[in-house]
């Protein structure tokens, strides 16, 4: 994943 | 996934369905701000570009595709199919006053200075204020159809439920994202006035009418 954390929210 | 998050997402889906059904069944988009809908299409397009770069879950991908498709579907219904019923005389909020500051803020305050991250941040900031043209339209005409009120209530509840989800995640998972939280609070606060009118009037069977 590119960002620092997974964007699991919508 | 927790109950607040799930209810938030379901509330968002419900809002989208109410809006599309209202337009489709009445063959009219009267009372709906095309400018807010345009902003929502920009929001989902900018945020869900990560569909191409990262996979979270089938649920996540399906919802993202649904939100993008529904926002463009609404744009099509408003500006093409039922264009004649679009109440553009009352839809006059200048959206550049929302878009430009959000661009500047996203460039200045973000987690990482990369294209996708800046687009995500921009979409979070823009979503928090995207409803303003719609609320402005309601205040200008002084009233809203009940179905439009239900749509606004479901749409406003979605971010309010996300706030509870973030409180839960902070304690349960030590997960938090200040950008999303602050924008979510702003977004929810903007609906407070409407929530009050909805609970005191619409739920008691009255039409949403602003005091003169």
Dump pLDDT digits (tens) for B54-64: 899 999 999 99
Complex ipTM:
0.80
Q: Given phi > 0 = left and psi -120 to 50 = alpha, else beta, which region is B84?
A: alpha
What does the alpha-carbon distance between residue B195 and residue B201 come to, in Å, rounded to a whole number?
10
Question: What is the interface size between A and B, counted as CB pairs within 8 Å?
Answer: 33
Domain count within chain B? 1
Task: Read off the pLDDT of each residue in B2-15 and give the average, rounded to a whole number.
Answer: 98
In terms of residue numbers, what domain contains B171? 3-209
Dump pLDDT digits (tens) for B94-134: 999 999 999 999 999 999 999 999 999 999 999 999 999 99
CB contact under 8 A, A2 and B53: yes
CB contact under 8 A, B117 and A9: no
What does the alpha-carbon distance between residue B198 and residue B147 come to, in Å, rounded to a whole number?
11
CB contact, 8 Å: B117 with chain A? yes
Is residue B83 predicted with pLDDT exceeding 50? yes
CB contact under 8 A, A9 and B162: yes
């Amino acid at each position: 994943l590119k960002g620092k954390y997974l964007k699991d929210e919508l | 996934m927790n109950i607040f998050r799930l209810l938030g997402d379901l509330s968002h889906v419900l809002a989208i369905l109410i809006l599309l059904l209202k337009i489709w069944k009445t063959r009219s988009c009267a009372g709906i701000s095309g400018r807010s809908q345009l902003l929502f299409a920009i929001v989902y397009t900018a945020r869900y570009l990560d569909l191409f770069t990262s996979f979270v879950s089938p649920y996540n991908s399906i919802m993202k595709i649904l939100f993008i498709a529904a926002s463009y579907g609404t744009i099509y219904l408003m500006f093409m199919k039922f264009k004649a019923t679009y109440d553009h005389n009352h839809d006059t909020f200048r959206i550049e006053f929302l878009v430009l500051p959000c661009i500047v803020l996203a460039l200045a305050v973000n987690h990482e200075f990369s294209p996708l991250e800046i687009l995500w941040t921009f979409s979070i900031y823009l979503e928090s204020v995207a409803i303003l043209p719609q609320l402005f339209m309601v205040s200008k005409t002084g009233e809203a159809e009940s179905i439009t009120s239900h749509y606004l209530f479901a749409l406003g509840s979605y971010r309010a439920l996300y706030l509870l989800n973030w409180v839960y995640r902070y304690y349960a998972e030590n997960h938090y994202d200040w950008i999303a939280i602050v924008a979510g609070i702003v977004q929810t606060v903007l609906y407070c006035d409407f929530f009050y009118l909805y609970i005191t009037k619409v739920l008691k069977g009255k039409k949403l009418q602003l005091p003169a």
